[in-house]
Amino acid sequence: MQSTGRDPIEAEGALELLEGVKELYVARGSKTVHVDLSKSRPSDDELLAMLLGRSGALRAPTIRMGKKLIVGYNEELLSSTLL
């Protein structure tokens, strides 16, 4: 576990988190995006736009469960992907 408040993860580190990830879930408010990285991988710029906040650091919370990466807070998304 890493505290992004004390040790933020920026662009290159955020892309490294995707190694071995097959499913990416991104929450922005009530909107959620699911990307199946095993079928088609967006460009690095598109991925960074999803992963990074306005500060240029990885958005929180970010949770990796096996081959899933969940980024951002949305109660419905977290309950459906974590259970």
Sign of the alpha-carbon dihedral angle for 47, 49, 54, 60:
negative
Q: What is the DSSP string of the chain?
A: ---TTTS---HHHHHHTTTT--EEEEEETTEEEEEETTT----HHHHHHHHB-TTSSB-S-EEEETTEEEES--HHHHHHHH-
Task: For residue 3, name the pLDDT band (cuts at 50, 70, 90).
Answer: low
**pTM (whole model) above 0.85:** yes
Residue 6's pLDDT is: 74
- Residue-wise pLDDT tens digits, 6-39: 778 898 899 999 999 999 999 988 899 999 999 9
